[in-house]
Structure 1
Amino acid sequence: MADPGGTALLEAPAPRRAATRRDTAGLGTSRSIGFVAPALVLIGIFLIFPALWTIYIGLTNYRLTGVDSVSPKVVGVANYVEALNDALFTNSLWLTFVFVIGSAVIGQNVLGFALAWTMRSARPALRSTVEALVLLAWILPGVVVAYLWIAVLDRSGGTLNLMLDTPGTAWLLQYPMTCLVVFNTWRGTAFSMMLYSSALAAVPPSQLETARMVGAGRLRTVRDVVFPHIRGHVLTNTLLITLWTFNDFSPFLLTAGGPNHQSETLPVFIYQQAIGGEGNGRLGYASAISLLLLLANLVLAIVYLATLRRRRVR
């Protein structure tokens, strides 16, 4: 027969064990917070505070110099209204879309996939050499790359003019946006190539062999066999390179937005308004445009993520 007293003695420590578990859980939570606290502090200092400060500055007439730099006044949404009615802002917005679609969505995507698809069956030595050269263009500092391209496109003695026998052609002055699109495509293709190389490695070889045996061409094989497997990678790559290109400041290193604002993308336009001299140090106006640029990035990210989620559900 079971001893009632013994049973009570066995059941008595249960509340203490539950309390011990709660104490352990609380201690674990405290330790977790302690580990992530430095990261949260850094995020607050370098991301959240600058974002909130930018929003505030965008509501004022704050300038880099003068009376408004000492005692700025709140002007509400006047900066945003002015931006929407500013021909230079709309011109910069249009040029930014041309730059992004031409060099990222089309240029880097297509060239990166083409290189990855071609190099997958190349000899290891050739593949390693091509990958190293393409990666070198990506990892070099922007100032160095810009200097190299200025030397290539120079009107007097430039490499391109010597190759095409077109002396005196000022490529950066006559075709500024075309030069920027080619430049950014050349420089940013490495990331797309590496991502697509990893994605193509996951395509089952048996399916590729089956497509070859039934007589499918390369385009049909890519469309019907390869693309369904890498669709998520395509969307992810497009999202990343679009956001990077949308905020890229390297066009300033080549053309400084010229000639006559013909290559002035939004990051360059913001710089010119805030610091470059054209806007007389209008930090408030530039901050308002920065917020509009941030909102445009958020819209693009939401659209791409929603598309990616819809593809995964299917």
Structure 2
Amino acid sequence: MKKRNFYIYITPLFLILSVFYLIPILDVFKYSFTDIRLGENQYSFTFSSYFSVFSDLNFWIMLKTTLLFVFLSIIIQIFLGILIAALIDEGEKRNLKGTLILRTVVLIAWVIPGVIIGIIWKLFLTEANYGIFNYYLMLIFGHSFPFLSSQKLAIYSIIVANVWRGTAFSMIMQYGGIKQIPYELYEAAGIDGASGIKKFFYITLPQLKPMIFINTVLVTIYTFNTFDMIMALTGGGPGRSTEVISLNIYDTIFGKLNLSRGSVLAVILFFINLIISIFYYKMVISKGGVEND
């Protein structure tokens, strides 16, 4: 009876996941082995799109750009998330008035749509007369900086914008993790004469390992799929210096109407996310990070 009830309860969830996730994923895999174009129903099965992608030098350059964007975004975002969460927690313990304001300001970035964030940062970083940062840099240094027009600087500009947006998510997760740490651990460490820094490194960080792992996996997947903010901020330029895989998928399917090539890129992105998630899991399990904590 219990087993039958289990299947009754799980069937609606399985149907929803199948309609909105499983079936579209299977369609993407199918279309990647065809020559289909968006809006057309006729197609034939072929491996030509895979050969075209892997033999394209621009794809490997784009992959390198994507990995740099994701790696730096993750490292900085999680570091700032932990730092801000710890500061907010400490501020609450000391009843500091600015704690609520800090938490609110950080959360604002998370609720703003990616396109709007791209537009906001474009106003800050552009070299045009209305560029906010360059206006003050002109007053100080006498010249502007090509944050968005330089191929060397543009990639770091989108990383800064993405970190500003995503730090709130990491902060929320780490803040929740900190609140789950027993206060008795800090009291015992205080009795032993441990400083605040030692408490952070020997109590807070070890206790946060499971949350950091989950945060890293989610942020990795989310960052790999980010394209709306980049599209609004640089459009993948200058040249193709800020073109990541997710943005190229959007442009290939909806701009060039090449559904087969876009599906190949989506499949590649899917396996990159899958491999990295498995790697994170194996790495943490091998160190006893999740199971033992």
TM-score range, shorter chain: 0.7 to 0.9
For residues 76-131 of structure 1, what are the alpha-carbon distances to aligned partners after superposition, in whole Å with 9 as ceiling and x for unaligned?
Answer: 3x322322221111111111111111112x11111111111122222353111111
Checking the alignment, whether the CA contact within 8 Å between 1:99 and 1:177 is kept in structure 2 is yes
Q: Which residue of 2 aligns with 1:294?
A: 270
Is 1:196 aligned to 2:196, yes or no? no
Question: Which residue matches 2:133?
Answer: 160
Kindly indicate whether residue 109 of structure 2 is the aligned counterpart of residue 133 of structure 1.
Answer: no
Q: Partner residue of 2:25?
A: 51
Taking a change above 3 Å as real, the CA distance of residues 213 and 29 of structure 1, as seen in their structure-2 partners, is: closer
Matched letter for residue 195 of structure 1: M
What SS is found at the alignment partner of 2:148? helix
1:62 shift after superposition? 1.2
> CA shift at 1:276, angstroms?
2.2
The one of 44, 64, 69 equivalent to 1:99 is 69
SS at match of 2:246: helix
Bigger shift: 223-232 or 181-190?
A: 223-232
Q: Percent of aligned positions with the same letter in both sequences?
A: 26
* Equivalent of 1:81 in 51, 65, 73: 51
Distance (Å, rounded) in 1 between the aligned partners of 2:285 and 2:192: 33
Hey, what's the Cα distance between the residues in 1 that align with 2:82 and 2:56?
39
Q: Is 2:242 aligned against 1:263?
A: yes
RMSD of aligned C-alpha atoms? 2.3
- Structure 1 residues 173 and 216 mapped into 2: Cα distance closer, same or farther (>3 Å)? farther
Q: Check the 8 A contact 1:257/1:265 in 2, yes or no.
A: yes
Amino acid at match of 1:117: A
SS in 2 for 1:263: coil
Given that 1:89 and 1:269 are in contact with CA atoms closer than 8 Å, whether structure 2 keeps it comes out as: no
Call closer, same or farther: CA 1:223–1:284 in 2, change over 3 Å.
Answer: same
CA deviation after TM superposition for structure 1 residue 59, in Å = 0.4
* Cα contact 1:157–1:167 (8 A) shared by 2: no
1:304 aligns with 2:280: yes
**1:3 matched residue in structure 2:** none
Q: TM-score, normalised by structure 2?
A: 0.87
Alignment-mate amino acid for residue 61 of structure 2 = N
- 5+ residue gaps in structure 2? none
Aligned length: 280
User: Are residues 84 and 218 of structure 1, via their aligned partners in 2, closer, same or farther at CA, if it must alter by over 3 Å?
Assistant: farther
1:284 corresponding residue in structure 2:
260
**CA 1:201–1:39 in 2, change beyond 3 Å: closer, same or farther?**
closer
**Structure label with greater radius of gyration:** 1
Q: 1:150 is matched with which residue: 98, 105, 122?
A: 122
Name the residue aligned to 2:217: 239
- Provide the C-alpha distance between the structure 1 equivalents of 2:22 and 2:201, rounded to a whole number of angstroms: 43
TM-score, with structure 1 as normaliser: 0.81
Q: Distance in 1 between matches of 2:149 and 2:196?
A: 40
